[in-house]
Each structure stands twice: as C-alpha cells, then as structure tokens.
Amino acid sequence: MNKPPVHAVAPEPWVVRFATQIPPGQRVLDLACGHGRHTHFFLERGHPVTAVDIDLSRLAKRPAHPRLEAIEADLEHGPWPLEQRRFAAVVVTNYLWRPILPNIVASVEDGGALLYETFARGQERFGKPTNPAFLLEPGELLEAVRGQLIVHAYEHGEFPVPNGCRAVRQRLYARRAST
C-alpha cells in the first residue's frame, strides 16, 4: 500500500497551535478531510471526530477508530450533509467552496471554534492553485465570520511550506461566544 505524502500526514502548525483551546472530549468536524491528518490528530487527542469528504477512500486506509464518524458527501453538488449539527471545533484546511462558508460558520456551536487555513490571492506567483475560485481574497475569512464569531487570530501572507517553497495562505482562529 502506498504511503500518503508527508504533507498529508503532519497536521498544519496553525491547527496544532490552537488545538489546546478545544475542550477535551468535545466533537470536532474535519471538513474535506482528505487523508485525515487532522481527523487523526484530534482522535489521538481524545476527541470524537466527524470527517467529511467526497472521497473517503484515503481516510479508510488508516485503521478504523471507535470515535470516528465518517460521512461521504459532495459538498459542492449535494445538500449540506450536517444540517442542524453543531461542533465544538470546525477544521477546514486546503479547501474552499465559497457557497458553503455560511454553513461552515453556522456549524460552530456556542463557545466553539473555527480553524480555517487555505491558499489565498497571491499564491498564483508560486504555483497551484491558481484558479481564483480556490484562493481566498484578502480579509475574506474575516468577512465570513463578521458579526457571528470573535476573531482570536488571523494571518494572510507568504509563509514557508513543508516542501521548502513558499505559499500565500490565509488562516483564521475564531470562536462563537458562549450563551
């Protein structure tokens, strides 16, 4: 069996940085989970995790876990698969489909957190993705959560990436106030 590439295994430093802020034992949503590097990172931290992707075959290469709920769904052409569900943390990395940004924000429970990081405008200079549909505009994540979540950390800029190159990324850590 082929091993997933290193970048598909190690969690994003942005996610690691704020993971301690997610209450132990609370459910995490890993949206567009891919190989499941964040799914397994949070499972290993003791969280129940809901992992969603259009293709769960890569996640399925890892051993099954009793606290894992895996949902195969097309987030771009099907209904939102998590209607009425709320999570203590919603994690989205390296994925953007603008029409569901409101669903993503709404999935954060009271007192919960959104951790989002993906490529942003300016990335075209370094390589893929170059399609503006997959690149966040400056401040776009701030706009997506405005009036709903409280922003604790936000960055947009050129950062080193594991392959030794640089990439333009935008990242956000925001929380919904507790009621």
* Contacts with ligand SAM, residue ranges (CB under 6 A): 8, 32-34, 37, 53-55, 74-76, 93-95
Of residues 74 and 143, the one with the C-beta less far from ligand SAM = 74
Name the percent of the chain in helix, strand, coil, to the closest 5. 25, 30, 45
Helices (H), the chain: 13-19, 37-44, 101-106, 140-145
Shortest distance (Å) from residue 38 CB to ligand SAM: 7
Of residues 33 and 174, the one with the C-beta less far from ligand SAM = 33
Number of residue whose CB is nearest ligand SAM: 34
C-alpha 177/C-alpha 158 separation (Å) is 30
Shortest distance (Å) from residue 145 CB to ligand SAM: 19
| Structure tokens given for 155 | 């960055």
Of residues 36 and 112, the one with the C-beta less far from ligand SAM = 36
Of residues 102 and 177, the one with the C-beta less far from ligand SAM = 102
